[in-house]
Amino acid sequence: MPVQILFICLGNICRSPTAEGIMNTLLEQQGLSEQIRCDSAGTSAYHNGEAPDARMSEHALKRGYKLGGRSRRFRALVDFEAFDYIITMDDANYSNVLAMDSKNQYFSKIFKMTDFCRHHVMSEVPDPYFGGNEGFEVVINLLEDACRGLLEKVLNEHGIANPQTD
């Protein structure tokens, strides 16, 4: 059974689908798509059913990342059980997800995306929704760094051989 990773932001149209797209690209490049699967969700239903933000998609595509899927809301009853890693983009969403874990059963699965950054020192992935072009680029930079760090953690914790380095 593949390792399951879920990326979480507020509306699931900017940061979390971008993290999913970057991670899926890394997995494809390294021949790991069958061993590790990704999805994304939001803690709100503001954008339920919408495609990723067009501006975010444009910036991601310039770097070779295709964003797909439709926004969905985090489903605590299903997602806590289904996913091995639940990765939030900021403090507010981290707190929201923790609050949904009323019995504190899934704490060990919940992380902040910036926990995996190796080169950037930031406590959150900022929401680029109301910012300009630079905000989208900052988000992609952070997510590229964090996705590489997260992938390294997943490979080590699950004893998955990386075909690119073996």
Which of 23, 72, 58, 75 is CA-nearest to residue 128?
58
* Residue 132 structure tokens: 């300009």
CA distance 35 to 161: 10
Strand partners, 112: 88
CA distance 30 to 22: 12
Q: Which of 14, 15, 37, 79 is catalytic?
A: 15
CB of 23 closer than 8 Å to CB of 65: no
Indicate the residue type of 81: E
Q: Which of 53, 127, 145, 147 is catalytic?
A: 127
The verdict on whether 127 is a catalytic residue reads: yes
* Residues known to be catalytic: 9, 15, 127
